Every structure is written in structure tokens, then in C-alpha cells.
Chains A and B, each alone.
Chain A
Amino acid sequence: MIEAIRECLGQEMEADKRVVVIGEDVGVLGGVFRATDGLQARFGKERVVDMPLAEGVIVGSGIGLAMSGLRPVIELQFLGFGHQAFHQIGQQVARLRYRSQGRHSLPLVIRSPFGGGVRTPELHSDAFEAFYTHTPGLKVVAPATAYDAKGLLAAAMESDDPVLYLEPLKGYRLTKDEVPDERYTVPLGKLRVARAGTDVTLIAWSAAVNVAERAAEELFEQGISVEVLDLRSLNPLDIEGITESVVKTGRVAILHEAPLTGGFGSELIATIQQECFYNLEAPIIRITAPDTPYPLGGVEDLYIPDVDRVVAEVAALVKASA
């Protein structure tokens, strides 16, 4: 997946001179995960800029760069450090178009890895997407595959709306799938049916999609047909695509790495019961992290929902309502 992101950045920079990449360690080092590896050598220090270590001004100056006519791609090294820039993202990035009555548009992308599973130090792994989906004006996408990583990033960079583009830390190297060489986009707001099924809809995004798919495989062997939805984009949300699946299966499980309370799963449940309450054959379940801070890496496997847990909870859901 990391190669797909890098290839996309390179192709977009090649095609549009207004694209600049700024962030911590994005230049010579190529980013701590190498997403920007080689870009500075290709496009120069003016367009691939190592920034001082200050997330607030990285995002805040990105707004100014966009105002000046450029199309900045901002790398936040880890979403866990996004709080240092939260005032710029939540108050400023998301509202500038609105506050200026459309005079200023904000074509910027904030890329940031998030989620756990790779034994990082503290505060690197939190799944904070729900903070940002509660921020009108900001689009939030979270690809699960390398194909989507490239296509959604290209779409985000093409968009005149600001986009928070979340990259699965765990999927960077783990996720491998076919990626075309040429440029293409994947539209924002269209989910992907990762696996078709008939008994239960299992909704996930980002790194959790892989867990969901593996659980679905095991459940299939137990005779349970699981439809796995990869949301791809949290805002805009593909309500139609979700509804279509739920009408078919009648059962829903939502899987996310973030804590339970106030997580994006809550929003999905509220939406689903409103759209298709009478198609439901069982209460919707959530398989999530507990309502605790993200723990140190040594116990993160106990924190993030794993395949075994998903299999057990989805099987119980289906059996209870069979």
C-alpha cells in the first residue's frame, strides 16, 4: 500500500505543478514510513518540504499555501499528534470556505497514518477518526486496499474540499494487491463490497477490513455467509450502499478499532435503524476497542478486535436470531 500512495503522490506532482508536499521528515528521509521516498529528489526542496516540528503551523501554513493557489498535501506523521493541530483542522480547515462565503476554497489533503497493531510507542496508534467525522466541512476517507489507497488519494487531491486521508499503519506493508500503473480515481463516498454474503453485513474501514475478511472466511466454513462492506469514506458516507446490504442480510455487525462510546459505529447504527429498521432481524452489534486509552504496544492485541473475537461475536449474533 505504501508504494501505491507514493506512486500516486509522484504522478499527481508530475501532472500538477501546484501540488506541494509538506510535513515532518518528508524530504530526505522520505517520511518515517517512506510514503514520500524519492519525491524530494524528483521535485526539489521547494515542493517537498521538511517542516519544523509543529503540527499546528504545518496545517495552518498549509491553509495559507492553498490560499495562495497551491494544492498542498500535508503529512501528519501520526494521527495521534493531530491534536496539536486540531484547532487548525477542526476550526479553520473545515470552515474556511463557509466563513468566506465560498470566496476561498481549500484544496488540501491531510494524510495521516492511524490505528494500531505495529507496536509503536505511546500515542501513535489511536483511531481518532470520529473526532473528524464530527467536523462539518471536512471529508474523511480511509482506504483498506492498495488499489483504493491510490485511487482515493488521487480523488482527494483532485477535490476542492479539504480531505483527511487516513492510512492504516498496519496495512502499509501488509496490504498487497494489484495497482494499475496509470492514474485513476476512486470516487469519494462509494463503499466497496469486499465480500458478498447473505446472512449478516459486517461493516469496517481501513485496517479492520482485513480482519473482517479473514473472519468472514472462517465464518463461511461454519456455514455463515458474511457480506463485508469496506466503507472507504466516512464523510461522505454511502448510506445507499449500506442500506442495500442490510435490506438483503437483515443483520449488522460493525467493527472498528476505536473505543465503543461515540465511535463512528454509533453513527452507523443510528443511520441504519432509521433507514431500514423493519428489515433488521436482530439488534446491531459493535465489535470495538473498550472505552479506555490506547494501551502500550505489549497488550495492544488484547485491545484491538481480532479475527477470533469477530468470528465469535458475529456467529453469536447470527445464531441468536436464526
Chain B
Amino acid sequence: MSVSRFLPDFAPISPFSRLSESGILDSGASPMSDEAVIEALRYMMLTRVFDDKATSMQRQGRFGTFSSVRGQEASVVGAATALDPTKDWIVPQYREFPALIRHGYPIENFALYFMGNPKGGTIPPEVNMLPMQISLAAQIPQATGLAWGLKMQGGDGVVITFFGDGASSEGDFHESLNLAGIMKAPVIFFLQNNGWAISTPRENQTAARSFAERALGYGVEGVIVDGNDLLAVHEVTTQAVAKARAGGGPTLIESVTYRTGAHNTADDPTRYVDQQELEKWQQKDPVERIKNYLRSRGIWNETLEQEMLDSCAAQIDTAMEIARNTPLATSNAIFDHVYAEPPQRMLDQKSDWAHRNGGA
């Protein structure tokens, strides 16, 4: 009898894609209608406009440290557009602006959060999302439990959780895939492999050739997709959502993309990013690629693009205006919502603070 061995495979694999780098669709049918692609493109452009605006405000000291989505727009939007906001949940990290906005989280709340105003954390009651997560990977067990709980109560809602290649080194990632496999939880683990965890390259996170195949160790399906290809991301996520909804359990999707911006506004990527590699990825820009696709379909031109840009800019300006005009919270905000039934001691502190700060 021979020894059963499970050896790692290092042969190169190609992420699933539908569009060529110049935006030409393969011979199959598009997984998205033209209208859906244009709507998705708008979320991608809205994200660019927001990122630029927020970055410039941050430089002027009017916005806090935040992380732009640059380079990953197709990855986030392709995944988000596979969801039904009325019943599906997003359990985010913090680099998923367009997914949250599409799900119904107000742009001004997103801005307020990064301006340091606690009101930004407010999630409207009809919006199915958890707060953004700063402690990397801690959201993944929560997404798993949420999905499992929805299933236990007979619902057909699906949960998607976002995280990166770096976060997948945390124990929470592994413990969650393991549990989700056992419980057949309707959850999609959407791993954005953007090449970097701040300055640590993907090679320092795993010796495996892909993140997707880690799923196998947990009895879970893994998928690897070109994260700069909106159509491909949308297609594989739609499949994973349908499978989860039908009771088929979790999927790990590795979306291979690249963070062409900085980790956040406090980061200086010129210290560690190879300029040639960056330029190579900039050539694969996901926004240009989907615009080229629309051009190849004969339904995109300069005028339409300018109209879309103007409308995105107006929408962002309105939201930023609301955020800027929202008064900074009083000291009460430090104490509100800590408990359902607060201990007296904290309530005493709340009135002390209010008194010291000139009343609540």
C-alpha cells in the first residue's frame, strides 16, 4: 500500500476572466446586461471621485486617515452587484466603499466615520451590514455565525465578508472557513488579494500558489478570479451566492487584483512598491477596462462619460457637504450605545463629562 500524500501544486494557474486586458469579451454570453454594467461602472467611478475628494480633504486636514479602493473597484463592485440588498448581508473590512453604498449605507456616514464623528457609525435599520472592521479578520467569524444563524432560522439570505490576503493569515480566517464548511453556512469569503498588506508582499503571507486552494483543507470550494475584470468577478460571485442560497454552503473567492494606491493616506508606497510592477498593473486598470468593453459594444462615448462623472461629483459633493455640516458630537456620544442598560457608574461619568464640557 502506498503512502497517501497531499503535495502542494506549484504549476501556474490562471484566474478566471471574461474580458481581455483591452476589454474584449470572450466568445460566451455576458453575465451582466448592458444596463447592469453601466450601473456598476457608475459605482466604480463614484468610488474614484470619492477617493480623490477624500484624499485631497485629508491633505487639507479635513478628513481622517482612510484607505482608498484604487485599483480594486471591479473586484468590490463585481462582488457587490451579485447581492440582493433586501436580504443579503455585507460584513465588511474597510476598503469596500462602493459595496456599502450600493447596499444602502449613506455616503455621508462613510465620510463622517473617517472624519472621526461617531454618527458615521450609524447604520440605517434597513441596511444589512455590520460596521466596518479595523481589526483585520475579526469580522470573518461574525459573518460565518450570521450566515449560519440566517440559515438556522429558515431564511435564504446570504452573507459576504470582505478581507485581504494579509488578513487571511489570521487564525480567525482559518477557524471560520473550518466552521462554515461544517455548518454549510451560506457565506462567501471574498478575499481580495491586492498584493500587499501595507508593505508586506503577498509572498510573505503564504507559500501556497494561491489563497483560493486553502479552501480545500476545510472541505470548502475555492475559486480564483481576475479581480480587475468586473464581469468575471460578478459571474463567480453570482454563482457562489446562488449556491449558498440553495443550501450548497460556503465559497472562498480569491479575487486577484492590485492596490495601485497607498495602503492609506498615512502610507508611502514608494518605499516598497516596485515601480515597474505598479505600472504593469496600472495598465490593467479595471475602470478603463470596463469602459473599453462598453465602447466595444458601441454604447459608450465621451459625452456619456462626462455626464456620469458630473453626476458622481455632484453626489459626492452633496454627501461631503452634509458630512461637513454635521455638528461634531457632544461628549454624550462617548457614552451613548455602550450598553442597552448602562451601569450607574457610567451614567454618572456621562453627566460629569457633560458638565465639564459645557453641557450635553
Chain A residues near B288 (CB-CB < 8 A): none
Chain B residues near A159 (CB-CB < 8 A): 340-341
B88 → chain A, closest Cβ, in Å? 13
The answer to whether A67 and B146 touch across the interface, beta carbons within 8 angstroms, is yes
The CA-CA distance from A135 to B124 in the complex, in Å, is: 27
The answer to whether A101 and B123 touch across the interface, beta carbons within 8 angstroms, is yes
| B110-135 at interface with A (beta carbon < 8 Å) | 118-119, 121-125, 130-131, 135
Chain B residues near A137 (CB-CB < 8 A): 338-339
Residue B141 is within 8 A (CB to CB) of chain A in the complex: yes
The CA-CA distance from A189 to B344 in the complex, in Å, is: 9
B152 → chain A, closest Cβ, in Å? 6
- Number of interface residues, chain A, beta carbon within 8 A: 44
A179 → chain B, closest Cβ, in Å? 25
A54-B175, A70-B153, A101-B121 are contacts. A63–B141 as well, Cβ < 8 Å? yes
Chain A residues near B28 (CB-CB < 8 A): none
Whose C-beta in chain A lies nearest to the C-beta of B125? A103
The answer to whether A61 and B123 touch across the interface, beta carbons within 8 angstroms, is no
Residue A220 is within 8 A (CB to CB) of chain B in the complex: no
The answer to whether A97 and B340 touch across the interface, beta carbons within 8 angstroms, is yes
Contacting B345 at CB < 8 Å: which of A20, A65, A237? A237
The answer to whether A96 and B153 touch across the interface, beta carbons within 8 angstroms, is no
| B157-205 at interface with A (beta carbon < 8 Å) | 159, 171-172, 175-176, 178-179, 182
The answer to whether A99 and B345 touch across the interface, beta carbons within 8 angstroms, is no
The CA-CA distance from A97 to B118 in the complex, in Å, is: 12
| B318-352 at interface with A (beta carbon < 8 Å) | 336-341, 343-346
The answer to whether B142 and A68 touch across the interface, beta carbons within 8 angstroms, is no
Chain A 48-88 against B: per-residue CB contact (8 Å), 1 yes, 0 no?
Answer: 00011010110111111111111000000000000000011
The answer to whether B172 and A56 touch across the interface, beta carbons within 8 angstroms, is yes
- Number of interface residues, chain B, beta carbon within 8 A: 43
Chain B residues near A97 (CB-CB < 8 A): 337-340
Chain B residues near A96 (CB-CB < 8 A): 130-131
| A197-213 at interface with B (beta carbon < 8 Å) | none
Contacting A102 at CB < 8 Å: which of B130, B138, B171, B336? B336
Contacting A100 at CB < 8 Å: which of B121, B148, B178, B182? B121
Whose C-beta in chain B lies nearest to the C-beta of A46? B152
A68-B153, A99-B121, A101-B337 are contacts. A56–B345 as well, Cβ < 8 Å? no
A97-B340, A237-B345 are contacts. A68–B125 as well, Cβ < 8 Å? no
A52-B182, A54-B179, A57-B175 are contacts. A64–B122 as well, Cβ < 8 Å? no
Chain B residues near A64 (CB-CB < 8 A): 91, 141-149, 159
Residue A31 is within 8 A (CB to CB) of chain B in the complex: no
Chain B residues near A100 (CB-CB < 8 A): 121-123, 130-131, 337
Residue B24 is within 8 A (CB to CB) of chain A in the complex: no
A235 → chain B, closest Cβ, in Å? 6
The CA-CA distance from A65 to B149 in the complex, in Å, is: 5
Whose C-beta in chain A lies nearest to the C-beta of B145? A64
Residue B140 is within 8 A (CB to CB) of chain A in the complex: yes
The CA-CA distance from A40 to B17 in the complex, in Å, is: 47
The CA-CA distance from A104 to B89 in the complex, in Å, is: 13
A310 → chain B, closest Cβ, in Å? 28
Residue A297 is within 8 A (CB to CB) of chain B in the complex: no
Residue A98 is within 8 A (CB to CB) of chain B in the complex: yes
The answer to whether A67 and B172 touch across the interface, beta carbons within 8 angstroms, is no
Chain B residues near A88 (CB-CB < 8 A): 138, 141, 172
The answer to whether A60 and B176 touch across the interface, beta carbons within 8 angstroms, is yes
The answer to whether B135 and A189 touch across the interface, beta carbons within 8 angstroms, is no
Chain A residues near B146 (CB-CB < 8 A): 64-65, 67-68
The CA-CA distance from A69 to B147 in the complex, in Å, is: 11
Contacting A67 at CB < 8 Å: which of B145, B178, B182? B145
Residue B150 is within 8 A (CB to CB) of chain A in the complex: yes
The CA-CA distance from A88 to B171 in the complex, in Å, is: 12
Chain A residues near B149 (CB-CB < 8 A): 64-70
| B29-62 at interface with A (beta carbon < 8 Å) | none
Whose C-beta in chain B lies nearest to the C-beta of A60? B141
Contacting A51 at CB < 8 Å: which of B119, B152, B179, B346? B179
Whose C-beta in chain A lies nearest to the C-beta of B179? A57
The answer to whether B148 and A92 touch across the interface, beta carbons within 8 angstroms, is no
| B273-309 at interface with A (beta carbon < 8 Å) | none
Chain B residues near A105 (CB-CB < 8 A): 340
The CA-CA distance from A69 to B146 in the complex, in Å, is: 9
The answer to whether B148 and A52 touch across the interface, beta carbons within 8 angstroms, is no
Whose C-beta in chain A lies nearest to the C-beta of B138? A92
Chain B residues near A161 (CB-CB < 8 A): 339-341
The CA-CA distance from A89 to B143 in the complex, in Å, is: 16
B145 → chain A, closest Cβ, in Å? 2
Residue A239 is within 8 A (CB to CB) of chain B in the complex: yes
The answer to whether B339 and A101 touch across the interface, beta carbons within 8 angstroms, is no
Chain B residues near A283 (CB-CB < 8 A): none
The CA-CA distance from A103 to B104 in the complex, in Å, is: 14
Residue A91 is within 8 A (CB to CB) of chain B in the complex: yes
Chain A residues near B339 (CB-CB < 8 A): 97, 137, 139, 161
Chain A residues near B172 (CB-CB < 8 A): 56-57, 60, 87-88
Residue A298 is within 8 A (CB to CB) of chain B in the complex: no
The CA-CA distance from A102 to B176 in the complex, in Å, is: 26
Chain B residues near A91 (CB-CB < 8 A): 135, 138
The CA-CA distance from A91 to B337 in the complex, in Å, is: 15
Interface residues, chain B, with chain A CB atoms under 8 Å away: 91, 118-119, 121-125, 130-131, 135, 138, 140-150, 152-153, 159, 171-172, 175-176, 178-179, 182, 336-341, 343-346
If A65-B145, A66-B149 are given as contacts, then 13 extra A-B residue pairs at C-beta distance below 8 Å, sorted by A number, are A52-B178, A57-B175, A57-B176, A57-B179, A64-B91, A70-B153, A88-B141, A91-B138, A92-B135, A98-B338, A101-B121, A103-B122, A139-B343
Give me the 9 closest cross-chain CB pairs, A-B, nearest first: A64-B145, A60-B141, A68-B149, A61-B145, A64-B146, A236-B343, A57-B175, A160-B340, A102-B337
